Chains A and B, each alone.
Chain A
Amino acid sequence: MTFALPAETTRADGEQTVRSYLLVRVSHERYTILGTDVREVTRWREPVPVPGSPPVLPGILNQRGIILPVVDLRLLLDLPVSPPERTTRYVITHRGEVDLAFLVDEVIDLVNLAAHQLEAIPDGLDSQQSRLLQSLTRLDDQPVAVLELEAVINTLQNGF
């Protein structure tokens, strides 16, 4: 089962710009992905493996006639990996010329975040992780990292 996200999720709310983000769980951590980068979310199914591909790229997937590379976000973020469960999902993204299927452990919700809710990445954070993040925020009093899809794609293109 799949569901489509709103195509345009940015709106002016007084003087603050509010954007919609997809809130996901990756291993034991929570991240958000900008809603306008997300095409849809779909249930996990076994990807077709490509011999010689690194573990972070476990295979390819047919999504509505388009063959997409699968990116295991857990490995990219250097987080523990567990077998697929009922909640495991692919987040299908589109940015520039690149379409990807990100494997996440759970899609939790669609959330709205205003600019003032986003904080800079602290210096002490692991550099592998921090270069993939745009900012940090808090939801339900828990920390949540905002993924920077452009940085993720650059990392995939230039080395990991």
Chain B
Amino acid sequence: MPIESNTMDRNTNSLPTEQKEKGIKAFIKKCKDQQALLWMTVPFVIWVFIFKYLPVWGWTMAFQNFKPALNFSEQEWVGLKHFLFLFTDDRFLGVLRNTLAQSLINLVLGFVTAIALAVLINELTNIKFKRVVQTISYLPHFLSWVVAAALVSSVLSIDGIINDILMGLGFIDDEILWLGVGEYFWGILGAAETWKNVGWNAIIYLAAISMIDQEQYEAAKIDGASRIQRILHITIPGMKSVIIVLLIMNIGYILEAGFEPQYLLGNGQNVEYSENIDVFVIKYGISMFNFSLATAAGMFKTVISFIFLIAANSLSKKMGQGGLY
């Protein structure tokens, strides 16, 4: 939540203003000068307040045995019971491990592939081909995971195309039941996420690349820089600020490893690697009408996210790269 409001502040701050005057007077004057911009933020501030701050009241549910039919005053307060259940469950450590591993794999793969794709697309000179590649690569993003998971599971089935190809090339002797082996799950998930989102994620980097001054490329060319050198010394440094902002934000979402693919591709044989916090919450929270447990897990996730976000931001600032705020 602080992200939205702060980025907006930054935008307003970045306008040229006189810094000499100080105090309330200066503040009011600044507000007056920028009143149009301030008005523009109003709907978003309202939105953030309604959808991000008001629901925080619901956190009280985590400390109750919440029953939907009862009033707030009639609820039974149970203290940290739900947190204890969550943290003392034998499977919780495994679930946390899965969440972090899946999330980390997604984070690294997501960044590397999207940046690589953006750079490669940028290097293409044939406009038509460029558009076709871009469209095809971001199309899977618009499939719902239900459809995508069905595709993934049929591709990976015993008589699926992956087994056919690997057998045909002689890499394996027997078909492998990919979704039946827990150890493969993280890899499958990472690959599926990449396939689905790489094109979409690349869009923002393409936008960042297009902001780079073309004169830099021309100057480099005249100086005799090769294509690779131009990519390494102009394109990538030019994208740096966008990369860092996204990285910090994504680190904040480290416990949001996603829910649908794990839920849809998970089964009894790979459950030890597929079950993450969200799946666990669905099983023991929502499905059992235990909304309190679901809330407790949500609170836990928010707290962790907060810590990661602040840590990443201050680290980035310390390294002299500038932060979100």
Q: Are A and B bound to each other? A: no
Residues of B within 8 A of A (CB): none
Residues of A within 8 A of B (CB): none
